[in-house]
Amino acid sequence: MVVLDRPALDWLHPVRRRGWELYGGCHWHMASRKCARAVMSGDIPVSWLMDVFREVQIPEECFWQTAYCNQKNLRICPESHRFEDWTELGKNPALLGASHIPEIIRSEAFFARKWLAGDPVLDRVDAELLGLQ
């Protein structure tokens, strides 16, 4: 997570006026049962945050990060636990293939992206990970 800080404008932003920090990060995230309970109990003011972030261009990169990171009773892990190959330095991660399988397994990531839909390598990945060889 990254704290979004623009000191000259902080006092204007409704999140900052509430006394919260603004956070941003990857839109791929996982939340624990404790996070879900905070949302369901109203400890995290989701409706208010939706109003605040309604006009933000990419709200999924700051909405939940701001919601969770401002809760003192939640422990936040900054890792996305996603395997992605950004070696091509493009706007998107590279498409994964069979050559990536050993690296994906070593990474211990929970998810890997980006795959070509219907690629036969996905069956091989399933077989490797489930021990069906």
In a domain, 75, yes or no: no
CA distances from 64 to 35, 51, 89, 113, 115 (A): 10, 13, 27, 21, 26
In a domain, 58, yes or no: yes
Confirm if 61 and 24 have CB atoms less than 8 A apart: yes
pTM, two decimal places: 0.71
Average pLDDT of the chain, as a whole number = 85
Claim to verify: residue 57 and residue 17 sit in the same structural domain:
yes
How is residue 83 written in tokens?
Answer: 């395997």
3-class secondary-structure state, position 81:
coil
How is residue 66 written in tokens?
Answer: 């701001």
Widest pairwise Cα distance in the chain:
59
Residue 116 has pLDDT above 80, yes or no: yes
Residue 83 burial (CB count, 10 A):
19
Q: How far is CA 56 from the centre of its chain?
A: 17
In a domain, 76, yes or no: no
Average pLDDT (51-69) is 90
Claim to verify: residue 61 and residue 99 sit in the same structural domain:
no
Range of the domain at 38: 2-69
Task: Please give the pLDDT value at position 95.
Answer: 92
